[in-house]
Structure 1
Amino acid sequence: MKKLFYSCVVVLLVMSCKEQFDPPVTAPVNGYLVVDGIINSGTGSTNIRLSRTVNLADSARMNNERNALVRVEGEDNSSYPLAEVAQGLYSHPQLSLSRNVKYRLYIKTSDGKEYVSDYSRVIPTPPIDSIRWEQPGDLQLYINTHDPLNKTLYYRWEWEETWEFHSAFTTQLEYAYGRPGEITGIKYRFPNQNHDLSKYYCWKHGSSTNLIIGSSAKLSRDSIDLPLHFIPRGSVKLSVLYSIKVKQYAVSREGYDFLQRMKKNTEQTGTLFDAQPSELVGNIHAKNNPNEIVIGFVDVADQQEKRIFIRASEMNNWGYRTGCTELIVPNVLDSILAYSYLMPTSVEEMTPFGDILSYRGSGPTCVDCTLTGTNVRPSFWP
């Protein structure tokens, strides 16, 4: 959700007019506090992100709220502290919450200000039925779920994706150096002349950045089947093996209405006719200043999750291309230096005595996949 609140508008410019429009809301110098997350009463971690709103001119900058004291509090006087595990991200690995108790979020920022959400009951979340996909050309993923009791009605989803990819070429060669930075020739990476596969197998990760919500309130049956994620044809994500894990939460009617307003504000271009920041007030309040605007809505719900894998062999004419080529370089110092921007890959020609006459080379990202990913295999990877 890192980009979710970037565009909470403090200053709006009228696109069709020459004069600047000054909204009736005056933002504090350090911006409004933004709280994003759900208190997870089920299996898995609870993650709350704290940040501050920024002006449109600074929308590429994330203003995280650091060094806050954050905890989950129960009406039974139970308390669960959340640790700051990354800038502005506060987490607890596993809460053990009772369905018979209401809970709230407590925040004390580094400047001493205190904020609390309303006490909320635990909302049961039904399991995810399936994550399905269609691929007529591009790949479209869908989320499917239902509540047989017809009680949930309002949902929110987040996803995390991981994909395996390979470098276009392996390498068995490397540059030889004299003094640091001074290339003196080409040599084998290993004495046995094997290719280096540590730079060949890699993985990369991504996560949802937009709000994904859905409701069956207007339907006769509490059943959801919605587009979840889109991957364009030819993407490297489906070059070998792709996986997506989806987290599903039930939310309250009030929480869903807030998320709908937030979704409109963050996905529309700011104009005179867009919703104003004051409309984003949720269920979080400043303890000592009821007039202070706080953006966010915190529900308490079980987390349900499901993961699927999709292999490249399941794609129909996916069309992935690396765009990488190799050049043949003579093994003489002038040529080596002229093409030093390439990464050497393999021997092209050698003498009967094993001396290298010429070699192949390609762009660094075509040879070393760790330049764009990690070669640490995920624990869940098959």
Structure 2
Amino acid sequence: MIDLLKRMITRRPVTLLLTLILAGCIEPIEPELGVFDYLMVVEGHVSNLDEVNTVRLSRTKPLGVEYGGVEVGALVYVEDQEGAKFYFEESSPGVYQSDPACFVGETGNSYALHIETLYGEIYQSKPILLNTAPAIDSLYFERERRLTNEGITKDGIKILLDSHDPEGLTQYFRYEWEETYQIKVPYPQDISVWVCYNTETNSDILTANTSQLKESRVSQLEIKYVSTEGYQLRSLYRLLVRQYALSSSGIKYWTELKKISESQGTLFDPLPYDLPSNLFNPNNPDEQVIGFFDVGAVTEKEIYIDRSQLLELDFASDGCSSKLVEVSGGGSPPAGYCLASQGPYGSGINYYAPEYCCDCRLYGELDEPEFWPN
């Protein structure tokens, strides 16, 4: 998300200038670009999970300037309502992480982020309560055919989520997902490159707001659509979903960020420096700070989907059998092809397939994830 913010900030001044020129102004009006220069950008989150919490710091930079970017050498810590401080170490340039052995957020506690840069600049947030997050009730899937932009119907499944907070304490949520799937190529050149695994995470923003409902209930929220076109559903598929509890200011921030990320960069689009932020410079309250410090509990749920559960779905051909090339008489295969099978004994015929049909490493990693079922 931090890269998204920085890209949008540098993109919009150019868009504005070009729009004014193309609109037929007698004299091109160049906007003030100084307000975009070297703004502090913060992305951070503290949760109740027994894992590393991360704060990322960077700076926007003027158009055409190559140097700058990440904010290194800063002092970063969170402070609870009792005054206890928990320090984050810089694990890589601009990335600051906590030690789970020393700090895990607790529901009911409040935490404030404090940043002191290498040059003595101070940034902080106000204390934020770590809200509870209800459990995810269920993850399930339904078959759905969808029409592509090219007018082609594709088959697949939509994965849905149900959740509710019986006490109504949390009304705002954000969701992240991580998918892992097994890949089996049809013509492995060796058994060692037959099966691989690939993991991907979402880059879009998905939120839910139940504040206008009689009860805090999320029903049939689509987390992800998976088509039968790729390898995802051809063997075993796993989706892990995280549900983040948000504050009212948090839902406002993520909602506005989603609007900006989905816009096309026109003159009338909202600008990223108008995003709500809960960070400020106490020594210079007028300084613009971009980004948000999230504090909230997280709950997780996963679902495994086996190919045997999807018998009614239409799977497109993998495109490999139709691309087999027959080579006889000891001839050489085409470049980029590997041996798929041999003809009848003594025939001297071999069949070759494109490399992408023979080596799963083109799609993923050989190592089986620790969580993968036996």
Tell me the TM-score normalized by structure 1. 0.80
Q: In the TM superposition, what is the alpha-carbon distance from 1:266 to its structure 2 partner?
A: 1.3
Aligned residue number for residue 211 of structure 2: 217
Question: In 2, distance between residues paired with 1:302 and 1:378?
Answer: 26
Aligned residue number for residue 183 of structure 2: 165
Match of 2:309 among 308, 314, 338: 314
Q: Is the 8 A contact 2:257 2:272 kept in 1?
A: no
- Letter paired with 1:213: T
Aligned residue number for residue 124 of structure 1: 132
Structure 2 counterpart SS, 1:134: strand
* 1:327 is the counterpart of 2:325: yes
- Letter paired with 2:54: N
- Which deviates further from its counterpart, 244-253 or 97-106? 97-106
Aligned residue number for residue 92 of structure 1: 98
Structure 2 counterpart SS, 1:9: helix
Q: Is the 8 A contact 2:2 2:43 kept in 1?
A: no
Q: Aligned in 2, Cα 1:98/1:317: closer, same or farther, shift over 3 Å? A: closer
* 1:373 is the counterpart of 2:368: no
- Which deviates further from its counterpart, 286-295 or 232-241? 286-295
Q: Aligned in 2, Cα 1:121/1:21: closer, same or farther, shift over 3 Å? A: farther
Aligned residue number for residue 202 of structure 1: 196
Structure 2 counterpart SS, 1:266: helix
Q: In the TM superposition, what is the alpha-carbon distance from 1:343 to its structure 2 partner?
A: 1.9
**Paired residues for 1:1-382 under 5 Å:** 1=1, 4-5=4-5, 7-10=7-10, 11-12=12-13, 13=15, 18-19=22-23, 22-23=30-31, 26-29=34-37, 31-53=38-60, 65=71, 68-85=74-91, 88-92=94-98, 94=100, 95-99=103-107, 101-109=109-117, 113-137=121-145, 138-171=156-189, 196-225=190-219, 226-315=221-310, 316-324=312-320, 325-330=323-328, 332=330, 335-336=331-332, 339-351=334-346, 357-382=348-373
Q: Aligned in 2, Cα 1:141/1:110: closer, same or farther, shift over 3 Å? A: farther
Q: In the TM superposition, what is the alpha-carbon distance from 1:214 to its structure 2 partner?
A: 1.0
Ranges in structure 1 where 5+ consecutive residues have no aligned partner:
172-195
Aligned residue number for residue 151 of structure 2: none
Q: In the TM superposition, what is the alpha-carbon distance from 1:364 to its structure 2 partner?
A: 1.6
- Letter paired with 2:82: D
Q: In the TM superposition, what is the alpha-carbon distance from 1:73 to its structure 2 partner?
A: 2.3
Ranges in structure 2 where 5+ consecutive residues have no aligned partner:
146-155
Question: In 1, distance between residues paired with 2:166 and 2:7?
Answer: 38
- Which deviates further from its counterpart, 138-147 or 312-321? 312-321
Question: In 2, distance between residues paired with 1:197 and 1:65?
Answer: 47
Aligned residue number for residue 184 of structure 1: none
Q: Aligned in 2, Cα 1:98/1:204: closer, same or farther, shift over 3 Å? A: closer
Q: Aligned in 2, Cα 1:162/1:4: closer, same or farther, shift over 3 Å? A: farther
Q: In the TM superposition, what is the alpha-carbon distance from 1:149 to its structure 2 partner?
A: 1.0
- Which deviates further from its counterpart, 340-349 or 271-280? 340-349
Structure 2 counterpart SS, 1:5: helix
Identity %: 28
Question: In 2, distance between residues paired with 1:381 and 1:204?
Answer: 12
Structure 2 counterpart SS, 1:198: helix
- Letter paired with 2:362: L
Query: Deviations along 1:37-80, whole A, 9 cap, x unmatched?
Result: 4211344432334444578999xxx9555554433222423232
Aligned residue number for residue 149 of structure 2: none
Query: Deviations along 1:269-300, whole A, 9 cap, x unmatched?
Result: 12222222331140112344333322222232
Q: In the TM superposition, what is the alpha-carbon distance from 1:91 to its structure 2 partner?
A: 3.2
Question: In 2, distance between residues paired with 1:331 and 1:84?
Answer: 62
Question: In 2, distance between residues paired with 1:67 and 1:344?
Answer: 54
- Which deviates further from its counterpart, 283-292 or 108-117? 108-117
Q: Is the 8 A contact 1:159 1:207 kept in 2?
A: yes
Q: Aligned in 2, Cα 1:364/1:49: closer, same or farther, shift over 3 Å? A: farther
Question: In 2, distance between residues paired with 1:110 and 1:321?
Answer: 57
Q: In the TM superposition, what is the alpha-carbon distance from 1:27 to its structure 2 partner?
A: 4.1
Q: Aligned in 2, Cα 1:166/1:122: closer, same or farther, shift over 3 Å? A: same
Tell me the TM-score normalized by structure 2. 0.81
Query: Deviations along 1:81-121, whole A, 9 cap, x unmatched?
Result: 33445665443353333445421223344565442222112
- Letter paired with 1:344: L
Question: In 1, distance between residues paired with 2:292 and 2:188?
Answer: 50
Q: Aligned in 2, Cα 1:220/1:375: closer, same or farther, shift over 3 Å? A: same
Superposed CA RMSD: 3.0
Structure 2 counterpart SS, 1:299: strand
Question: In 2, distance between residues paired with 1:55 and 1:311?
Answer: 50
Question: In 2, distance between residues paired with 1:49 and 1:331?
Answer: 61
